[in-house]
A and B are shown apart, each in its own frame.
Chain A
Amino acid sequence: MTSVALDPPMAREALSRRLSSVLFAKRGLLVTLLLVPPLLWLGVVYVGSLIALLIQSFFSIDEFSGTIVREFTLKTYAELLRPANLDVILRTLAIATFVTFASAVLAFPIAYYAARYARGRTKATFYIAIVMPLWSSYLVKVYAWKLLLAKEGAVAWGADRLGATPMVDALLSMPFVGGPSLSVSYLGQALVFAYLWLPFMILPIQAALERVPASLIEASADLGAAPGQTFRTVTLPLALPGVAAGSIFTFSLTLGDYILPQIIGPSTLLLGQTVYVLQGTAGNIPLAAAFAVVPIIVMGFYLFAAKRLGAFDAF
């Protein structure tokens, strides 16, 4: 009787011991067992989906019936080169470039201060201050700017109080970037993009600057360089890999975004919006897929160039 009562737990223990010894002896088996579920998920669900997308970009749409023709063709990619579509791609690239420059300029002083002067508690505070906005809600951040940039909103009010309204109006009357108000102009759109991605730019620049030894700056001063000269010829070139690393994010995120341009900026479509409209209301999945391949290719080249600038050492 007692042996019956004792047996099952003992048997289980023996089994778990034996299994444990096998796993201990064959680490490869353990690693494989651990890897199978995540790889199944990411490999099958995710990569499978990406491949499905890629395949669809080689299909085309029947112009009369609107149905998808499941035969290999490059016709859909050729459509990307039509003036209207090319315009979307070039405009998006132009905005992404501008946003990247703007965020680099805005990020630099913060990163420089955090890397060179902030110590102890100040440094921790800086870190939280930079990372918090990164994780806070994307939509709420966009919404905040809708409030701020509205005609009756805080920016217009502030400009009015400071007597800067003519300056804002002059900016808005510029061709291309301007518009009736900040919230429907490219200027406002780029500003909000730069705001959204700013932490992605600050962190790598800060990391790059932290690696510049103070002795190097001192050596430059000892050799007679003025502070400005040291900054231009020593600090800035050494910070460049950080800028390149940050620009990967600012560029890629701007290319793919389609929420912000719906809410802030002119009514003309950017790349992300085009993909969304094509796959949704237009039902043209092949062209949407071909458009989606554009940022992948652009980012491929971009990553290659960034690697040569040393961006990957800056993380």
Chain B
Amino acid sequence: MRSKASLKLKIAAGIGLLFLHAPLAFVILYAFTTEERSYQFPPPGLTLKWFGVTFARPDVWNALVLSLRVATIATVIALTLGTMAAGALARTRFFGREVISLLIILPIALPGIITGIALRSAFNLLDIPFSFWTIVVGHATFCVVVVHNNAIARLRRLSPSIVEASYDLGADSFQTFRFVILPNLGTALLAGSMLAFALSFDEVIVTTFTAGQQATLPIWMLNELIRPRQRPVTNVVAVIVIALTFLPILAAYYLTREEGPASGGG
């Protein structure tokens, strides 16, 4: 009965997967096109010159550096808070536990625009000027859940008996944490951090609300998409973004693949 899929199903699934993946291939192709003014297909010729042009652009570099700085600091904050929350929630039951879980998921469960406008109106009410740090606050808020999900999945798989064994052998809580829990948790935290980094590096919706005049790389791209000035440069930046988000995500998958889905969502 379950022997073989029908041809029709194979074709439909194949078309579906093609639909999911083909568009990004076009972005990569367009980074090499010689056509400057339109999105002409097929490209009239191929060239590498736009990579050089892009790398000589200070605005692209500034946006890239800002995005990397924001993503790094937001990841560090999310790593700290997410790990703490996971440690507290992994093997405990107490009144209000479900509410706390909900609170952690809320920033990505609600549409980004709500998180964005809520933070913006709070900054306005408190007269906090928009800066590098307001972007970081926004990003860290929705990155906590990613680290938390990865850490809690690993903590639940970790046998409680190895922690007990550590205590029985005379280690105190700190030693147990340092020499038993942390080494076991390490790859899950690394995976969570990478996903958080990718999520922050790529985020545009919340950022449009919490950034002042500064442009992260996604904001730079958004401006180019709405009012294209130099399409070939945008194409190359798109390829850079693909590479910089693809690699950490793939690494995160291999670090946690026994645990199934690295849940979180974008």
Chain A residues within CB distance 8 Å of chain B: 16-17, 19-21, 23-24, 27-28, 30-32, 34-35, 37-39, 41-43, 45-50, 52-53, 56, 106-107, 109-110, 112-114, 116-117, 124, 127-148, 150, 152-154, 156-157, 195, 198-200, 203, 214, 217-218, 221, 249, 252-253, 255-259, 262-263, 272, 275-276, 279, 285, 288-289, 292, 295-296, 299
Contact = CB atoms under 8 A, between A and B. Distances in A.
Contact of A214 (B2, B85, B100, B225): B2
B241 interface: yes
A24 B167 contact: yes
The 8 A-B pairs of least Cβ separation, nearest first, read A256-B111, A109-B12, A20-B172, A144-B23, A49-B122, A34-B88, A49-B118, A113-B13
27 contacts: A16-B172, A24-B173, A34-B85, A38-B85, A42-B81, A46-B107, A46-B141, A49-B118, A109-B16, A113-B5, A117-B4, A124-B257, A127-B261, A130-B20, A133-B20, A135-B199, A139-B204, A143-B225, A144-B238, A148-B23, A150-B39, A195-B19, A258-B113, A259-B204, A259-B222, A275-B117, A292-B113
Residue in B104, B109, B120, B121 with the greatest tally of chain A CB atoms within 10 Å: B121
Contacts of A130: 20
Contacts of A262: 225-226
Given A136-B245, A252-B111, A49 B87 contact: no
B88 A146 contact: no
A153 B43 CA distance: 10
A157 B266 contact: no
Given A39-B100, A47-B103, A195-B19, A139 B81 contact: no
Given A35-B84, A50-B114, 15 more contacts: A20-B172, A39-B103, A41-B77, A109-B12, A110-B17, A127-B261, A133-B21, A136-B242, A139-B204, A139-B221, A144-B23, A147-B27, A195-B23, A253-B111, A276-B113
A138 B104 contact: no
Contact of B88 (A35, A106, A295): A35
B9 A137 contact: no
A147 to B, nearest CB: 5
Contact of A107 (B16, B27, B238): B16
Nearest to A141: B23
A106 B16 contact: yes
A152 to B, nearest CB: 5
A31 B20 CA distance: 43
Interface in B84-107: 84-85, 87-88, 92, 94, 100, 103-104, 106-107
A134 B24 CA distance: 12
Nearest to A43: B103
A54 to B, nearest CB: 9
A160 B113 CA distance: 39
Interface of B: 1-2, 4-5, 9-10, 12-13, 15-17, 19-21, 23-24, 26-27, 30, 38-42, 77, 80-82, 84-85, 87-88, 92, 94, 100, 103-104, 106-107, 109-115, 117-122, 124-125, 137, 140-141, 144, 167, 172-175, 195, 198-199, 202, 204-205, 208-209, 218, 221-222, 225-226, 234, 238, 241-242, 245-246, 249-250, 253, 257, 261-262, 265-266
A132 B249 contact: yes
A56 B30 CA distance: 45
B172 to A, nearest CB: 4
A129 B103 contact: no
Contacts of B238: 137, 139-140, 143-144
A136 B111 contact: no
A114 B241 CA distance: 29
B20 A129 contact: yes
A200 B88 contact: no
A135 B27 contact: no
Contacts of A47: 103
B40 A38 contact: no
Nearest to B1: A218
A200 to B, nearest CB: 7
A47 B141 CA distance: 11
Residue from B13, B80, B82 whose CB has the most chain A CB atoms within 10 Å? B13
